[in-house]
Structure 1
Amino acid sequence: MAALLTSRDDLDIIPSLIESNILFGTQLLQTLRQTPVEVFINTGTFAEYLYGDGQYNSSYLYSATKTAFHAMIRYYQQLIGFKVINVIPYTVYGQVDTQPKIMDIIYNSFLQKDAINMSGGEQTLDFVHIDDVVAFYALLIDKIDSLVNPWEDYHLGTGKGHTLRQLAQLFQAQLGLPENINWGALPYRPRDTMYSVAPIAKLIAHFGWVPATVIQSGVTKFIAGKQIAAS
C-alpha cells in the first residue's frame, strides 16, 4: 500500500513517483530475499484500467507507475518463489482522508456560497466504503492459505456504478440543500476514467464476499462523519 497517490504528471513530480511507487517497493522486495516470505499482497488501482475492460491502460502517470511495479514483483516472485495477491480497490471513500477525493468535493459544494465548476459528471465509478475495504483485507489474510494460484487479481468494489451526478443527487436528498455545481463548466481530462466498475464475481466465488455498505447508507455514514469532525 505504500505509494504516492497524485493526479499530477508534471516534470517535478516524476522523481517522487518513481521513488515511492517503484524504488521503495523494489528495495522492499530485495529485503524479502532474506526472509521466508510466502505471500506478497500488492495494492493496485482501478486507474490502471482506463476503459474498464480488465486490460492495462493507465489513466494517469501515478497508475502507470503502479503497473510498472508489477515487473519488479514478477521478477522477485520467480527469484524467491512467493505467491502474489494483487488487490485493485475502486473509488474508496470514508469519513477521513488525507487528501480530498471526489466525494469530499461534492459534499463541500453544498456547504459553500459559490457554485463550484466541474466536468459533465457522467463518469461512472464504483464507490466502495473504507469499512468494506478493511473487511476484505482482513478476510483475505485469514483465508490466504486456501489460495493456490501463483498470482491472483482481485478487483475490490461493489460491482455497481454511479455517475458523479447521481452521487450529487444522493447528497442533495440527504442534506436537503440545493445542488451547487456547474456541471460541464470544466472539460474532461484527456484520459479521464469514464467507466470503472469492479467485476466482483471472483470475490464472491473465492470468499463469498460482498460489500456490506451500499452507496445510500455509505453517503449517510460519510455525512455523519463529516458533521462529527466539524463539531
Structure 2
Amino acid sequence: MNILVTGATGFLGSYLIKALLQKDHNIAIVKRSFSNLSRVGEILHAVKSFDVDLTSISEIVEQFNPHAVIHLATNYGKNGASTSEVFNDNIIFPLQIMENLQPGTYFINTDTYFNNNNSYKYSYLNSYCLSKKYFLETAQSYIASKQLVLINARLEHIYGPLDDPSKFTMNIIRQLYDNQSPIALTLGEQRRDFIYVDDVVSAYLNIIESLPSLSGNYSEFQIGTGDTCSIRHFVELSKELCASTSELLFGKLPYRENEILTSEANISSLVGLGWRPRVDLKEGIIRMVNQLDRQKVVVADE
C-alpha cells in the first residue's frame, strides 16, 4: 500500500514509519526542508521524501498517489507560535491534502484525548485543542462529497524513549534520572491513560490492516490501555525505577485552570480488531530509563 505520512520525523512518526517499512508498505513522508532528521536518518533511504515548503501538496499527491494518508503532524502552539500558525498547520494543511486525494483514499487523522473532555476550554492549549476540534468537524462534513474514508485515531497519553524532552513523561523521568531536587508538582490526583509508543504503533498497524473491512466513510478509534493511573503514581514509580534521590514536592504547584481530572480510552473498537496493549507502565518506564543509560554511555565514550 502507498502510505503518505505527515509528522514522520517526530516521536510517534519515527516509530510508525519504521514499523510500516517492516510490513513492506511503500512510504512517502511530508516534512520541511529544515526538519530535524535525527530520529529517522537511518531509514530515509527507504522512503520517498517531500519537502512541503519546496513542493506543492498537489504535486506531492500526484507524484506519490497514496492509497492512505496518516496525518501525525501537529502544532501545539508552544514556543511563541501564533494562533494563525496553529490553525494553518492543524486545519488548513491537512484539508489541503484531503482536497487533492483521489476518491476512495483513506485519511487517518491523529486526534487528542484533550477533546474527549471539551478541553478547548483548557487555556494553556486553547488554540491547539480548538484547531484539532475544528479540523475534525470540517473533515467529517467534507468526506462524503469527496468520497474519502476518514478514520479518527484519538490518542491518550503516549510515552516512550526519544520523546520530546519538554513532554511531561520524558521531562519528569529525566529530572529523576539526573537526581534533580526538589521537583515541584501538583497534588498529582489527575488520572491519565498512559500508553507506550510501541502499543500505539501496533494499534495503527491493526487499523491499517483492517481498512478494507471498515464500514461507512467515518470510523473512530480511541487509543489507550483502557485503564488509568494517577500522575502521582507515575512519578513515584518513575522515581523508584530510576533509583532517584530527588525530593518530590507534591502540592507545590496549583492545578491548571479547567484541569482534566480523568481521561481514559474506550478501546472496545480496537479490541474488536484483535488489538491489545502489551507494555505495562512499569515495563514502559524501565525502557525509558534504559534508553537514558545508553545515551549516558554514548556521551561518556565521546
Structure 1 residues 28-107: aligned runs within 5 Å = 28-32=97-101, 35-50=102-117, 56-58=118-120, 59=122, 60-61=125-126, 62-107=128-173
Q: Relative contact order (C-alpha < 8 Å, sep 6+): which is higher?
A: 1
Q: CA deviation at 1:203?
A: 1.2
8 Å CA contact 2:109–2:153 kept in 1: the answer is: yes
User: What CA RMSD, in Å, does the superposition of the two structures yield over aligned residues?
Assistant: 1.8
Q: In the comparison of the two structures, how many residue pairs are matched?
A: 221
Structure 1 residues 124-143: aligned runs within 5 Å = 124-143=191-210
8 Å CA contact 2:185–2:252 kept in 1: the answer is: yes
Instruction: State the AA in 2 paired with 1:171.
Output: S
* TM-score of the superposed pair, with normalisation by structure 2: 0.69
Q: 1:2 corresponds to which residue?
A: 73
Which of 88, 92, 117 matches 1:23? 92
Structure 1 residues 111-130: aligned runs within 5 Å = 111-130=178-197
Go from structure 1 to structure 2 and tell me whether the alpha carbon gap of 1:27 and 1:163 turns closer, same or farther (over 3 Å shift): same
Instruction: Describe the superposition over 1:156-185 as per-residue Cα deviations: whole angstroms up to 9, x where unpaired.
Output: 000111111101121122222234221111
Give the secondary structure class of the aligned counterpart of 2:154. Answer: strand
8 Å CA contact 2:172–2:235 kept in 1: the answer is: yes
8 Å CA contact 2:196–2:279 kept in 1: the answer is: yes
8 Å CA contact 2:186–2:254 kept in 1: the answer is: yes
Q: 1:53 corresponds to which residue?
A: none
Q: CA deviation at 1:49?
A: 1.9
Q: CA deviation at 1:100?
A: 2.1
Cα distance in 2, alignment partners of residues 221 and 168 from structure 1: 15
Which of 257, 276, 284 matches 1:210? 276
Cα distance in 2, alignment partners of residues 171 and 78 from structure 1: 46
Q: CA deviation at 1:78?
A: 1.9
Q: 2:285 corresponds to which residue?
A: 219
Structure 2 regions of 5+ residues with no counterpart? Answer: 1-71, 298-302
* TM-score of the superposed pair, with normalisation by structure 1: 0.88
Which of 3, 7, 14 matches 2:83? 14
Q: CA deviation at 1:230?
A: 2.6
Q: Which runs of 4+ in 1 moved over 6 A?
A: none
Q: CA deviation at 1:57?
A: 4.4
Cα distance in 2, alignment partners of residues 81 and 37 from structure 1: 6
2:273 counterpart of 1:201: no
Instruction: Describe the superposition over 1:174-213 as per-residue Cα deviations: whole angstroms up to 9, x where unpaired.
Output: 22223422111111110222101111112112x1211011
Cα distance in 2, alignment partners of residues 164 and 84 from structure 1: 33
8 Å CA contact 2:112–2:156 kept in 1: the answer is: yes
Cα distance in 1, alignment partners of residues 239 and 181 from structure 2: 16
Give the secondary structure class of the aligned counterpart of 1:84. Answer: strand
Instruction: State the AA in 2 paired with 1:127.
Output: F
Greater alpha carbon shift after TM alignment, 176-185 vs 152-161: 176-185
Go from structure 1 to structure 2 and tell me whether the alpha carbon gap of 1:36 and 1:136 turns closer, same or farther (over 3 Å shift): same
Cα distance in 2, alignment partners of residues 211 and 142 from structure 1: 17
| Aligned residues with identical type, % of pairs | 25
Q: CA deviation at 1:149?
A: 2.8
Q: 1:183 corresponds to which residue?
A: 250
Cα distance in 2, alignment partners of residues 76 and 122 from structure 1: 40
